[in-house]
Amino acid sequence: ISSFEAQPISIEVQEGGVARFACKISSNPPAVITWELNRTTLPVTMDRITALPSGVLQIYDVGQKDAGNYRCVATAVAHRRKSMEASLTVVPAKESESFHVPTILAGPQNITTSLHQIVVLECVATGSPKPIISWSRLDHKSIDVFNTRVLGNGNLMISDVQLQHAGVYVCRATTPGTRNFTVAMATLTVLAPPSFVELPESLTRPRAGTARFVCQAEGIPSPKMSWLKNGRKIHSNGRIKMYNSKLVINQIIPEDDAIYQCMAENSQGSILSRARLTVVMSEDRPSAPYNVHAETMSSSAILLAWERPLYNSDKVIAYSVHYMKAEGLNNEEYQVVIGNDTTHYIIDDLEPASNYTFYIVAYMPMGASQMSDHVTQNTLEDVPLRPPEISLTSRSPTDILISWLPIPAKYRRGQVVLYRLSFRLSTENSIQVLELPGTTHEYLLEGLKPDSVYLVRITAATRVGLGESSVWTSHRTPKATSVKAPKSPELHLEPLNCTTISVKWQQDAEDTATIQGYKLYYKEEGQQENGPIFLDTSDLLYTLSGL
* Mean pLDDT of all residues in 384-389: 90
Dmax (CA) of the chain: 104
pLDDT of 483 reads 61
pLDDT of 209 reads 82
pLDDT of 512 reads 67
- CB-CB contact of 245 with 285 (8 Å): no
Give the whole-angstrom CA distance, residue 86 versus residue 81.
16
- CB-CB contact of 170 with 199 (8 Å): no
Instruction: List Cα–Cα distances, 284 to 204, 376, 477, 494, 512, in angstroms.
Output: 19, 30, 80, 62, 85
426 pLDDT above the threshold of 70:
yes
330 pLDDT above the threshold of 90:
no
Give the whole-angstrom CA distance, residue 283 versus residue 261.
29
Element (H, E) at 409: helix 409-412
Ranges 330-334, 341-345, 401-405, 412-416: which has the least confidence: 330-334
169 pLDDT above the threshold of 90:
yes
> What is the tens place of the pLDDT at every residue in 120-140?
999 999 887 889 999 999 988
* Mean pLDDT of all residues in 443-450: 91
Q: What is the pTM of this model?
A: 0.54
Q: With CA atoms as reference, report the closest residue to 66 among 14, 107, 126.
A: 14
Q: With CA atoms as reference, report the closest residue to 344 among 379, 307, 316.
A: 307
pLDDT of 237 reads 72
When pLDDT is cut at 50, 70 and 90, the band that residue 99 belongs to is: low
* Mean pLDDT of all residues in 462-488: 84
Ranges 393-407, 440-454, 472-486: which has the least confidence: 472-486
